[in-house]
Amino acid sequence: RPRSEPPFCPPGPGGVAVPRAGLKKYVLPPDYSGITFPERTKLKFMDKVPAVPKVRREPRRLRDIRGPSREATDFTQGQYGILALGGGYLHWGHFEMIRLTIGRNMDPKTMFAIWRVPAPSKPVTRKSLGHRMGGGKGPIDHYVTAVKSGRLVVEIGGRCEFGEVKPFLTQVARKLPFPAVPVSRDSLQQMQREEEEKRLNNQNPWTFERIVTANMLGMRKYLSPYDLQLKGRYWGKFFLKHRV
């Protein structure tokens, strides 16, 4: 009987019937009991240059961008955050943009925000413009922080809903040098669950991992030894979300 469900009314002889409202369902307000606010609710100011600037120029070491992140992959204090879906370097301009945008849009009395990335500490050298190659390594130009895919950049928490926080988090996420999305605790769990389900119900009997670990057809000649860990989901600094 379709009649027992309030939104579905079979149309009478005149045409489509307009559904009526049924019993009002009173929704309880959200429970913000288990939330502890840090001392300062706004984002801390990050220095352009660390307190002890580095004297020795460091090699480029791009492997700090490659692959999945091992730290700051899960929430600590807050409920919502920005998840990086690719690798990249954040410099002081990015930090200021994040700090000011979030500080402008959030209410410091009811919400708090914390950094999940350290201050820039990796020196990046740059040679002056218009010179030929050679003449040694250039001087230190600025400092950056390396971010790998799957890492949280900032965390927001407090007495707020995801819908309130999402607009300005998407605004910030669009401006970052790597692809990023705003996430909540639930949505992150959902993403991880979906990934796992995809991995389990894949109908393709040939997976990258299987072919690489068994070195089928001698494919390891064309692949990197790191592909054993990266399993075809990462290529350089990019994270291939559609791959299983």
Partner 1 sequence: LPFPRVPALSAARVPLSAGWLPALQFVRRGSKAVTRHWKAMHFQRQKLMAVTEYLAPRPAVPPRCLARRRETLEEDNGYAQLLRRQVEEVFRDNRMIAICQFNSMPGEDVVLMRHYLRKHNIEVKFVLNEIVRPVLSQSKYKNLLPLFVARNILLVSREAKAKEMLRVLRGVPQINLLGACIDDTILSKQGVENFAKLPLLETVQGQTVGALTLLPSQTSSLLQRGSAHLTALLDQHIHRLQAGETGSPAEPAPAQSSGAQ
* Binding site residues, partner 1, CB under 8 A: 3-4, 6, 20, 22-23, 25-26, 62-63, 65-66, 87, 133, 198, 201-204, 206-208, 211, 219, 221-226, 232, 235-238, 242-244
Rank residues 110 and 202 by Cβ distance to partner 1 and give the closer one: 202
Task: Provide the minimum distance between the beta carbon of 38 and partner 1 in the complex, in angstroms, as a whole number.
Answer: 35
Q: Which helix (H) or strand (E) holds 164?
A: helix 162-175
Cβ-contact 61, 123 below 8 angstroms: no
Euclidean distance between CA atoms 67 and 237, whole angstroms: 7
Task: Provide the minimum distance between the beta carbon of 230 and partner 1 in the complex, in angstroms, as a whole number.
Answer: 10
Cβ-contact 114, 78 below 8 angstroms: yes
Amino acid in position 33 = S
Task: Provide the minimum distance between the beta carbon of 64 and partner 1 in the complex, in angstroms, as a whole number.
Answer: 9
Can you read off the two tokens belonging to residue 79? 């409920």
Rank residues 66 and 94 by Cβ distance to partner 1 and give the closer one: 66
Cβ-contact 238, 86 below 8 angstroms: yes
Rank residues 44 and 175 by Cβ distance to partner 1 and give the closer one: 175
Q: Give the distance between the most distant pair of CA atoms in the chain.
A: 89
Task: Provide the minimum distance between the beta carbon of 83 and partner 1 in the complex, in angstroms, as a whole number.
Answer: 20
Rank residues 66 and 122 by Cβ distance to partner 1 and give the closer one: 66
* CA neighbor of 173 nearest in space, from 67, 77, 97, 114: 97
Rank residues 166 and 220 by Cβ distance to partner 1 and give the closer one: 220
